[in-house]
Amino acid sequence: EIGYLPFSQEEAKLFFQVIAKRYEKSAMILTSNLPFGQWDQTFAGDAALTSAMLGRILHHSHVVQIKGESYRLRQKRKAGVIAEANPE
C-alpha cells in the first residue's frame, strides 16, 4: 500500500532499487490510495527519485482505478457494526 506510511530517504532509495532491478524483467502489483502526483510526499519528498521510479512503474503498466466505498467498511455496515455513511 504505497503511501500508507512514509518512506525515509534511505527506504525510498532501497525501494527504488527494487523497482529498478525488476523493471522490464518481472511483473509487479502495487496498490495505493494516493494519486501519482502525491507519491513524492511518500518518498521523503524526493521528486526526482519519485519521477524516475514512476517512469519505470508506469511504462508498460495497466493502471486500474477503483472508486467507491471500501469493501471492508461496506461489509461492516451491512452487519450493523458501524453506522451508515449517509444516514437519511
Question: What is the percent of the chain where pLDDT is above 70?
Answer: 95
Q: What are the boundaries of each domain within the chain? A: 9-78
Residues across the chain = 88
Q: What was the pLDDT predicted at 44? A: 95
SS3 26: coil
Q: What was the pLDDT predicted at 87? A: 52
Across residues 63-74, what is the average pLDDT?
Answer: 86
d(CA 4, CA 16): 17
Q: What was the pLDDT predicted at 1? A: 94
d(CA 61, CA 45): 24
Instruction: Find out whether 40 and 46 touch, Cβ atoms under 8 Å.
Output: yes
C-alpha cell at position 84 = 451508515
